[in-house]
């Protein structure tokens, strides 16, 4: 019924990676709530379940991907950019002409750069969704300059050198990807930045008060409009589209959390892609055990290299902790972070996790792995001062020390206060008159003006 009242339809195309799909579906919900009909275009690989979104239409773009193609995120994204181009070109004209409502624009993930030339050909304006932060995008946009100045590719001998023009970043904080082909990451980034420049604007899952310096610089350097309208998951009255999760969350951990003291639990999760070695896994396990804090640990299938599940854990490990540790394959992360028992989030600093932690005022233990995560971790620990980076090697003594620093150390209260302040800002920006609220209004009116 609602669908019939809507005047315009938006086509949104998602990247199939978890950390990209969830924010795109959340954005779709936000735009739906603003009066637009929504069609989601998606690859066959990791396709969302239409039954979970009865108010959206769905359209599959054949991707020709095999299981082996999906192991490396850069390779996967490159393949999607190549293999989905022809099918999208074929179906887009009929999606436009068969739409019951006019389609003012196409919205696609920044990583799907192939969509820009296709939209250009059809004279269909494209808006970009950048699912990462603005500060890391600024770095991505400066890749050619960073290479010219010799900062990229990152050299082991220069890790502690400050990156001039990008304080407080050091060379070790620059984005990198452990791809089969490191040059492929550089090329992908340069290409998606170029196609952002050709777009009609970029929508960001961030907020002005969090990344004002980066957003100001982006406005100076680029002519495309910026719409920082995040945090998406908090702007939805009905909660987020986290049912976009590709794995089923194990909710049993919530009743375990209910039994823990306030601010006592370390929640440990490294997102949907990062993987660690068996040796690192054991250092984490012993570091958590020795910290004497309760912990909730997400061990995703496939997240320990060369291991199927929990077999590397010493036998009786959890039992010997007397209920102080709880392990799940996948957690309802947003609910976990909002639980009063959670006192810190040991995270890989994927942008969604970083933002979700900020929104709940939870201090972070930062252990970035790749891509934008190192930049996010540096901002969390040294700019917003809401976390501590795990320094040096991933080693049990270091883990124990860092957990204590964040949970009970001298600076712990200050970090917690900063986190609570930032939480308030994240909430205020969505209220009437707040920055994200106003940018969303401009986004909606700009989309409508594209239609006329
Ligand atoms: C990837 C990249 O790694 C990251 O650098 C980039 O910023 C986004 O894409 P990912 O590794 O999946 O993201 O991390 P993140 O961005 O943090 O997203 C993970 C999502 O999975 C979060 O929304 C989180 O709430 C959810 N999650 C994670 C769960 O719902 N349950 C879990 O147990 C773990």
d(CA 296, CA 324): 9
d(CA 156, CA 431): 45
**Span from the CA of 333 to the centroid of ligand 1 (angstroms):** 9
**Span from the CA of 358 to the centroid of ligand 1 (angstroms):** 14
Residue 16 phi/psi, 5-degree rounding, is -75, -5
* Residue 77, ligand 1, Cβ within 6 A: no
Number of the ligand 1 atom closest to the C-alpha atom of 372 = 5
Q: What is the mean pLDDT of the chain?
A: 93
Residue among 15, 17, 18 whose CB has most ligand 1 atoms within 8 A, to mutate: 18
Average pLDDT, integer, range 247-270: 97
**Length of the chain as a residue count:** 452
- Closest residue CA from atom 30 of ligand 1: 333
Name the pLDDT band for 213 (thresholds 50, 70, 90).
Answer: very high
* Residue 373, ligand 1, Cβ within 6 A: yes
CA distances from 168 to 11, 132, 150, 384, 411 (A): 39, 19, 18, 12, 20
d(CA 446, CA 452): 10
DSSP per residue, 174-193: S-B---SSHHHHHHHHHHHH
- Closest residue CA from atom 8 of ligand 1: 19
pLDDT, tens only, 86-130: 999 999 999 999 999 999 999 999 999 999 999 999 999 999 999
d(CA 240, CA 242): 5
Q: Please state which of the ranges 170-179, 263-272, 275-284, 336-345 shows the lowest mean pLDDT.
A: 170-179
| Neighbour count for residue 107 (Cβ, 10 Å) | 26
Work out the end-to-end distance of the chain between its first and last CA atoms, rounded to an integer number of angstroms: 25
- Closest residue CA from atom 1 of ligand 1: 19
Q: Where are the beta strands (DSSP E) in 87-152?
A: 106-109, 126-130
* Residue 92, ligand 1, Cβ within 6 A: no
pLDDT > 70: percent of the chain: 96
Q: What is the dihedral of CA 443, 91, 93, 16, to 10 degrees?
A: 10
Name the pLDDT band for 440 (thresholds 50, 70, 90).
Answer: very high
* Residue 372, ligand 1, Cβ within 6 A: yes
- Closest residue CA from atom 18 of ligand 1: 19
Q: Please state which of the ranges 201-205, 268-272, 314-318, 401-405 shows the lowest mean pLDDT.
A: 314-318
- Closest residue CA from atom 28 of ligand 1: 271
DSSP state of 70: G
203: tokens are 């929508």
| pLDDT at res. 4 | 42
| pLDDT at res. 2 | 45
pTM of the model as a whole: 0.95
| pLDDT at res. 237 | 58
Average pLDDT, integer, range 297-313: 88
Taking every pair of Cα atoms in the chain, the longest distance, rounded to a whole number of angstroms, is: 67
Residue among 268, 331, 353, 368 whose CB has most ligand 1 atoms within 8 A, to mutate: 353
Name the pLDDT band for 179 (thresholds 50, 70, 90).
Answer: low
Cis amide bond preceding 365, omega within 30:
no
10: tokens are 């938006």
Spatial CB neighbours of 393, under 8 Å, sequence gap ≥ 6: none
* Residue 333, ligand 1, Cβ within 6 A: yes
Average pLDDT, integer, range 422-439: 97
* Residue 298, ligand 1, Cβ within 6 A: yes
pLDDT, tens only, 5-61: 579 999 999 999 989 999 999 999 999 999 999 999 999 999 999 999 999 999 999
d(CA 149, CA 160): 16
Average pLDDT, integer, range 375-401: 95
């Amino acid at each position: 019924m609602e669908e019939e009242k809507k005047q315009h339809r938006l086509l949104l195309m998602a990247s199939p990676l978890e950390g990209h799909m969830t924010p795109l579906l959340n954005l779709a919900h936000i735009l739906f709530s603003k009066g637009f009909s929504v069609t989601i275009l998606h690859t066959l690989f990791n396709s969302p379940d239409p039954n979970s979104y009865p108010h959206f239409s769905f359209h599959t773009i054949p991707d020709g991907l095999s299981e082996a193609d999906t192991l490396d995120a850069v390779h996967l994204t490159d393949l999607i950019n190549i293999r989905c181009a022809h099918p999208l070109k074929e179906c887009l004209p009929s999606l436009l002409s068969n739409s019951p409502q006019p389609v003012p624009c196409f919205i696609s993930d920044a990583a799907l750069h192939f969509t820009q030339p296709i939209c250009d050909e059809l004279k269909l304006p494209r808006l970009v969704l950048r699912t990462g932060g603005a500060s890391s995008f600024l770095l991505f946009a400066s890749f050619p300059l960073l290479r010219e100045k010799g900062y990229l590719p990152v050299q082991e001998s220069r890790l502690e050198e400050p990156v001039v023009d990008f304080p407080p970043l050091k060379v070790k904080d620059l984005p990198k990807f452990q791809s089969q082909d490191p040059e492929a990451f550089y090329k992908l980034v340069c290409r998606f930045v170029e196609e952002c420049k050709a777009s009609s604007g970029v929508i960001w899952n961030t907020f002005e008060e969090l990344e004002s310096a980066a957003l100001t610089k982006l406005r100076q350097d680029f002519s495309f409009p910026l719409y920082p309208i995040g945090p998406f998951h908090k702007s939805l009255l009905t909660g987020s589209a986290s049912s976009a999760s590709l794995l089923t969350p194990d909710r049993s951990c919530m009743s375990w959390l209910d039994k823990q003291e306030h601010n006592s639990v370390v929640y440990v999760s490294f997102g949907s892609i990062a993987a660690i070695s068996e040796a690192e896994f054991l250092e984490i396990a012993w570091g958590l055990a020795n910290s004497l804090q309760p912990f909730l640990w997400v061990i995703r299938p496939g997240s320990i290299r060369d291991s199927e599940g929990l077999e590397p854990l010493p036998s009786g490990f959890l039992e010997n902790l007397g209920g102080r540790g709880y392990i799940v394959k996948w957690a309802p992360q947003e609910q976990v972070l909002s639980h009063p028992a959670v006192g810190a989030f040991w995270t890989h600093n994927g942008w969604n996790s970083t933002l979700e932690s900020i929104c709940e005022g939870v201090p972070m233990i930062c252990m970035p792995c790749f891509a934008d995560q190192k930049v996010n971790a540096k901002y969390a620990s040294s700019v917003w001062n809401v976390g501590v980076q795990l320094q040096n090697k991933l080693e049990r003594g270091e883990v124990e020390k860092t957990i204590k620093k964040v949970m009970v150390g001298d600076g712990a209260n200050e970090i917690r206060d900063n986190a609570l302040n930032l939480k308030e800002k994240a909430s205020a920006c969505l209220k009437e008159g707040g920055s994200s609220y106003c940018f969303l209004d401009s986004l909606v009116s700009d989309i409508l003006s594209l239609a006329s």
